Amino acid sequence: MDGLLHRRAPARARPRSIAQRTQSEALVLLALNLRTGIGAGVVGTLGALVWLWPSMSSPVLLLWAGAIFAGLLASAYLVRTSAQWAHAPDRLEWCLAANMFYIGALWGVLPLLGGYDAGGSAQTLIIMLLGIVALGGAGILAPRRLAFFAFIVPEIAPILFILAIEPPPAMPHAALAAGIFAVMLGALHELFHHTLNATLQQRLTSDTLAAEQSVILDSTAEAIVLTRGERLVKCNQRFAELVGEPIDTLRGRPLWQWLADPGEWHHNAQRAVRAMAAGLTFRTKVQVRRANGELRWIEFSADPVDPKRLDKGIVWLGQDLSSRLRSEATLHASEERYRRLITLTSDWYWEWDAKLRFTHLNGPGLARAGLSPSMYGQTLATLTHIAGVSIDGWAGLQRQIERREPFRDFIWQLNPEGENARWFSMSGNPTFDTEGNFAGYHGIGSEVTEQMRGSEQFRQLAYHDTLTGLPNRRLLDDRLHLAIAQSSRRGQQLAVMLVDLDRFKTINDTAGHAIGDLVLVAIARRLQSATRASDTVARLGGDEFVVILPDIETESAARRVADKMVESLVAPVEADGKHYRLGGSIGVAIYPDDGNTARTLLARADAAMYEAKRQGGSRHVSHRATPVTTA
């Protein structure tokens, strides 16, 4: 039955509550009690056979005893196999209750088997037997109410009924006395049950807290030791790992045994007593010798359990310094190598203190950046030759510093007005002292003038069509959104025109793509000539172009520009000594009448362009499908 409590739960089982664990523990106790109850039941049954044999029918009495023994065998089976019911304690409890009901009912029918005469000796024996059995049941079945009531109700109810109908002549109020006995029996059981369950819950709660504390103590990175005098009373797993020995072999051993110099113990013990007597935490660094002979530096702090009674024990917290010392040594060596390496490059190394003042500058690139050790004590923001940083740029750097975050590629400019303007980039990481307090920043800087110049070329390639040099779809989208925002603020209209060339595919197919490219470049120039400098002409791809006309006063103004573009597209295009006739279909959408978003205006201009195609091309059509025929 112990398996019911200690059986390992499945890997994915949920943690059980205190109430569930209390139920399991109570069933364990019930099973243990039933072992005694089975023995008592055998003795009681044999006693009933001996005492009632002269006054009752032998076959009936033997049959009754056999039924009792069968019930006791069933009880023994349930007790023996109870560990297999760990996954279903509720089912086990109901089976035990059914078994108790069966045995209780057999005892209850004993007065009905014959030989029970009011006033006779058998009557007294039966009443005494049932009372003893009921008392035993109240004690044995105290762990669970269900099993108790399943047993006691069928065991005592028949005799109460009989005494109420036909009380003994000598005891006319026997039924009342028996009822009082039954009530007291129930109260006694309730007392046993409540006390038992309260004790179980208290113990399980204490066990849970102890287990949680043990997990916490064993999970901490610090070694924790409780000593009384010089002897170790208790420690966590971390201390056992620190000294390299199994935890179950450490208790009772003197703490000085693990010191590299055991004589330090007495010296430190005296200092510790003086510090703790003054209400202070004692701290010291000592070398500990592990089981394999390895030495480690440990920093210990000590506090008494009771400052007034040091004999109650002292709690020591130990932190392994060896790895930290090795890490610091490695870090210092790495920084030294890095500083030497920086002297071989065109970059420089810098450090700030907690107030963001320069405290160290080193590297061959300092002179080109206008930096020198003479700037120690100054902040970056106070350097007068630093330029080219926007307000947002300074604010972004400030936010990162306030959050103690690394920053990358903070770019500033030197000599912005001269022909030899240069750009520089700084990146840094925050530094902290041994107690975790912010200590400043350190990092590197380098010149990025060539990269900045290259970035202008990159922006040109990223936002412009490589064939015509016109804005591409990405830049068109940016400009259209900006134009819509400006028109909205000013309460003005703007026009979006989608241009698709007529008969361009024929030129591509017959003359080749090289001639087609020359034609597209010529068309791009014509569209630019037909618009204002403030207008945008963009190429979507293939033979499609988009024109944005911001700040138009009326729709008629947009139509006049469209007329001009249609006229320019109809004129022959010369390419490689030949002339080619095209034409263009133009769809027009007006903001805000035809839409107030870039997507909507482009879609409606596209629909109008297809309407112009359907009408024969070489014309423009507004979104409202009112065609304007041109030559």
- Per residue, the 3-state secondary structure of 396-448, as one string, reads HHHHHHHCCCCEEEEEEEECCCCCCCEEEEEEEEEEECCCCCEEEEEEEEEEC
Q: For domain 466-628, say whether CATH 1.10.10.10 is its number.
A: no
The label of the residue with tokens 């172009």 reads 545
Residue 371 to residue 147: CA distance in whole angstroms: 90
Contact 438, 354 (CB under 8 A): yes
C-alpha to C-alpha distance for 347 and 360, rounded to whole angstroms = 14
Q: List own/partner pairs for 336-343 with CB under 8 A and 24 or more apart.
A: 342/444
SS3 state of residue 483: helix
pLDDT at residue 116, rounded to an integer: 61
Architecture field, domain 329-453: 2-Layer Sandwich (3.30)
Residue bearing the bigger pLDDT, 403 or 170? 403
Region of poorest pLDDT, from 73-77, 231-235, 390-394: 390-394
Q: What CA–CA distances, in Å, run from 132 to 41, 125, 128, 156, 166?
A: 11, 11, 6, 11, 22
CA-nearest of 423, 427, 424 to 407 is: 427
CB 180 within 8 A of CB 130: no
pLDDT digits (tens, 9 = 90+) for 569-599: 999 988 888 888 889 999 999 999 999 999 9
In contact, 625 and 613? CB cutoff 8 Å: no
The answer to whether the 220-320 and 329-453 domains have the same CATH topology is: yes
Which range, of 24-38, 241-255, 291-305, averages the lowest pLDDT? 24-38
In angstroms, the CA 41 to CA 35 distance is: 10
Which pLDDT score, from 0 to 100, does residue 493 have?
Answer: 92
* Strand order from edge to edge, sheet including 348-352: 358-362, 348-352, 438-447, 422-432, 407-414
pLDDT band at 7 (very low <50, low <70, confident <90, very high): very low
Delimit the domains of the chain by residue range: 3-210, 220-320, 329-453, 466-628
pLDDT the model gives residue 387: 76
What is the enclosing helix (H) or strand (E) of 501? strand 493-501
Which pLDDT does position 629 carry in this prediction?
41
Task: Measure Cα distances from 498 to 84, 276, 356, 609, 617 in Å.
Answer: 81, 87, 55, 6, 13
Tokens of 175: 């039924």
Asked if residues 302 and 294 have their Cβ atoms less than 8 Å apart, the reply is no
Residue that is written with structure tokens 């003994």 in the block = 168
Question: Could you count the other beta carbons within 10 Å of the beta carbon of residue 282?
Answer: 20
pLDDT at 75 over 80: yes
* Cβ count near 529 (within 10 Å): 11
Distances, alpha carbon 44 to alpha carbons 50, 54, 138, 438, 594, in Å: 10, 17, 15, 82, 102
Domain 220-320 has CATH 3.30.450.20: yes
Q: Average pLDDT of 562-571?
A: 92
Average of pLDDT values for 450-455? 73
